[in-house]
């Protein structure tokens, strides 16, 4: 099945929330709190969409298209920080997540940025190990910029266990 990456539109936002909810179910039995967490608020999605920091993957089957995944990111210092990326369970293992990350990397290069950054769970197979296969490397605590330290504070305020997480970077 072919897919295309495009900037999200306002009418995509509720579907993006549904993809986020469905994707979170993979955490059942591993991290139940994450599995039951609320999706990104519509207000945040709308802000990222308006800032062109929200891309979707649209799967095409004949003349019918379905949103298969999304990536939400923002400028953070000299990188695009990937805040959230999810692929609908029906479209997993089709390199849609990798294509979304590559699209963000392309946008970062166009903006004159040198890298992508993200924070994810260190040991969950579809998190840090996956990103390592896509060229991300773990960042040492001493390499965290003030912006990434602020992201960590945001995570702690949301109740995330930062001891289970790692910041990663991919040079472009």
Give per-residue pLDDT as tens, 8-37.
999 999 999 999 999 887 877 666 667 667
Place of tokens 């993957």: 57
Tokens of 143: 């390499």
Give the pLDDT score at 6.
96
Q: What value does the CA radius of gyration of the chain take, rounded to a whole number of Å?
A: 15
pLDDT band at 133 (very low <50, low <70, confident <90, very high): very high
Percentage of the residues of the chain whose pLDDT score is greater than 70: 94
* CA distance linking residue 125 with residue 105, whole number of Å: 22
Give the pLDDT score at 3.
83
Higher pLDDT, 30 or 45: 45
- Domains belonging to the chain, first-starting first, are 2-171 (3.40.630.30)
* CA distance linking residue 47 with residue 72, whole number of Å: 10
């Amino acid at each position: 099945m072919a897919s295309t990456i495009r900037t999200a539109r306002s009418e995509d936002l509720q579907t993006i929330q549904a993809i986020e909810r469905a994707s979170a179910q993979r955490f059942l039995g591993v991290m139940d709190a994450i599995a039951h967490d609320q999706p990104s608020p519509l207000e945040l999605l709308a802000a990222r969409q308006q800032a062109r920091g929200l891309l979707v993957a649209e799967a095409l089957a004949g003349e019918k298209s379905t949103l298969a995944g999304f990536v939400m990111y923002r400028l953070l210092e000299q990188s695009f920080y990937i805040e959230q990326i999810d692929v609908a369970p029906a479209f997993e293992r089709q390199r849609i997540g990798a294509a979304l990350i590559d699209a963000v990397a392309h946008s970062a290069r166009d903006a004159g940025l040198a890298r992508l950054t993200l924070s994810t769970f260190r040991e969950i197979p579809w998190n840090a190990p996956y990103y390592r296969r896509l060229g991300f490397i773990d960042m040492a605590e001493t390499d965290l910029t003030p912006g990434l330290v602020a992201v960590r504070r945001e995570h702690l305020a949301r109740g995330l266990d930062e001891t289970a997480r790692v910041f990663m970077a991919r040079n472009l």
